Every structure is written in structure tokens, then in C-alpha cells.
Amino acid sequence: MNHETDMLVAALRKVVASGGEHLLFKVSKQEGLFASKTGLAAEVAQSALDRQFIELVRSEGEGKKLCQWVKITAKGIRFLHERESPVRALDEALSLLKKEKEATAVGVVRMQERLEEISEKLLQEASHWTQKIESLEKRILDALDRLEQAGPLVPPGLLKEVPWSIEVVRYLQWRRGELDSGKCPLPELFEMLQNAYSYLDCPSFHDGLKKLFQARVIRLEGVSDPSLMDKPEFALLDSGQVYYFACR
């Protein structure tokens, strides 16, 4: 990733971790997603707004004292998820290792074609690096297999009833590992699923979550202060309990 993308990803991670609104630019001692209203930081902030990764929620003041609050959109969550998905990162590393392996093999062939005599030391070094690359390649393939086998964590019968259950499990695992935030608000989870399941509505979403909860595939948690629920219509009511967060 280039510097602009790094800055954008870091900002999106901040707003997701805050769980709600976040100040766009730093104002006095108040921390913002971006440190300055000028230069590269301002360009990246405007790009995030233009690409609809974040949206303005409210503004206060004017001029140099203007404070703008934003929140992340479903599109922004999707972008962050795709950029930092463990499967994506491993795929990129695997591709790089394969290129290195091919380059090593080609280099050895060229040396053999150009030289009548090749020292034993060079051959040993080439073999040594090839073994290291193959070992790393195998470890990455094994890691990819383990990630792809996450499906059995959902009982086959339940998977037929809730076809998007694998996406829920993987997203919650990714969120816990990459964002260091185990609790996912139900509105965020619903918006993530709608990118792939546009037909999904709130009642079907709640029904599926109840089944996953009852099967102990996920956990549901309430909220101590109801005023913290940005979208209370997504709160799940079950057996007298009010749930607003899902986690693994």
C-alpha cells in the first residue's frame, strides 16, 4: 500500500473502533481522523468523502474553529474489510513468494547456461533459498486451508437455514483480530451482509441471528445505555432481552 492508502486505512480503523461518530480533523486537543486540514491529510480526507467511505453527520463552528463529525459507511467497512482481510493478505504473500521462487529458478538456469563451471557453494545457496521459499509457501497454503475450513464451525443443517452464516463468522473473527474490537453493532453487521445479500431484510436478519445464537455459533450482547444505540430499529428482542452487539 502507498502512503495515501495507509493513511486512509488508519483513519477508517479509528472510526470503526470508536463505534459511532468521530471528529474528521484534529481541533486543538481533540483528536481527529486526520491531523491537518491542509496538505496530504486534507486530500485523503476529501477522497474518503468523495468515495463515500465516510459521511458527514454534523458540523459545529466555522472557519478555523469548524468541527465536523463523520461516521463510516457500509462502503467504507467493505473497503477496510477487503484491504485487511487475512485471506487477502496471505494470498498477496503467496503470490510474492511464487514470483520469488520462479525468479530463483530462472536465475539458476541462466547461470548454468552462461558459465561452464558453477561453484558448489552457489548451488547450495540456491537450493537453500528454494527450500526456504517452499517451506514458507507450504505454511501459507496451510493457513489458507485453515481459513477456508472455517465453514464447519457452522453446522451443515444451520448453514442451509442461514446461508450467510459463514460471512457472519468470518467477519466477526476478522473484526476481533484486525480491529481489536470483539463486539460488532448489529447495524454494521447488517450493512456488511447486504453487500452480498441485497434481498436480506431486518426480520430475516434477526431470525438468522437467533438461530446462530441458539446454536452457540455466535454470542449476542446488550447495551448498558439505550441512548448509545444509533439505530435502535436493529436491536434484537428475544426472551425479554434486548441485544445490540454480536461477537465470537
Q: Kindly report, residue by residue over 208-230, the tens digit of the pLDDT.
A: 999 999 999 999 998 888 887 88
Query: In a 10 Å sphere around its CB, with 0-12 CB exposed, 13-18 middle and 19+ buried, how is residue 47 labelled?
Result: middle
Task: Name the residue type at position 49.
Answer: L
pLDDT of residue 27: 81
Q: Where are the alpha helices (DSSP H) in the chain?
A: 3-18, 39-50, 74-84, 86-114, 120-148, 156-161, 165-178, 186-194, 202-214
Query: In a 10 Å sphere around its CB, with 0-12 CB exposed, 13-18 middle and 19+ buried, how is residue 241 labelled?
Result: exposed
Please report, for the chain, the start and end positions of each structural domain, with discontinuous segments joined by +: 3-81, 85-149, 155-247
CB contact at 8 A, 153 and 114: no
Q: What is the rounded CA–CA span in Å between residue 178 and residue 86?
A: 9
Which pTM was predicted?
0.46
Using the predicted structure, report yes or no on whether residue 111 has a pLDDT greater than 70.
yes
pLDDT of residue 151: 47
Q: What is the rounded CA–CA span in Å between residue 235 and residue 202?
A: 10
Q: Kindly report, residue by residue over 28-46, the tens digit of the pLDDT.
A: 777 888 888 889 988 988 9
Q: Kindly report, residue by residue over 59-72, the tens digit of the pLDDT.
A: 888 877 788 888 88
| Residue carrying the nine cell digits 457452522 | 154
Four-point Cα dihedral 100, 106, 108, 110, nearest 10: -150
Using the predicted structure, report yes or no on whether residue 236 has a pLDDT greater than 80.
yes
CB contact at 8 A, 53 and 8: yes
Using the predicted structure, report yes or no on whether residue 246 has a pLDDT greater than 90.
yes
Total Cβ atoms within 10 A of residue 27 = 17
pLDDT grade, residue 148 (50/70/90)?
Answer: low
What is the fold of 3-81?
Arc Repressor Mutant, subunit A (1.10.10)
Q: What is the rounded CA–CA span in Å between residue 207 and residue 205?
A: 6
Q: What is the rounded CA–CA span in Å between residue 221 and residue 237?
A: 11
Query: Which residues are CB-contacts of 213 (< 8 A; sequence separation ≥ 6)?
Result: 219, 220, 238
Radius of gyration for the alpha carbons in the chain, expressed in angstroms and rounded: 24
Q: What is the rounded CA–CA span in Å between residue 34 and residue 182?
A: 25
Instruction: Identify the residue with better confidence: 119 or 38.
Output: 38
Lowest average pLDDT, out of 138-147, 155-164, 177-186, goes to: 138-147
Average pLDDT of the chain, as a whole number = 82
What would the DSSP string read from start to end of 70-113? EEE-HHHHHHHHHHH-HHHHHHHHHHHHHHHHHHHHHHHHHHHH
CA distances from 17 to 83, 153, 192 (A): 16, 26, 16
pLDDT of residue 176: 82
Using the predicted structure, report yes or no on whether residue 138 has a pLDDT greater than 60.
yes
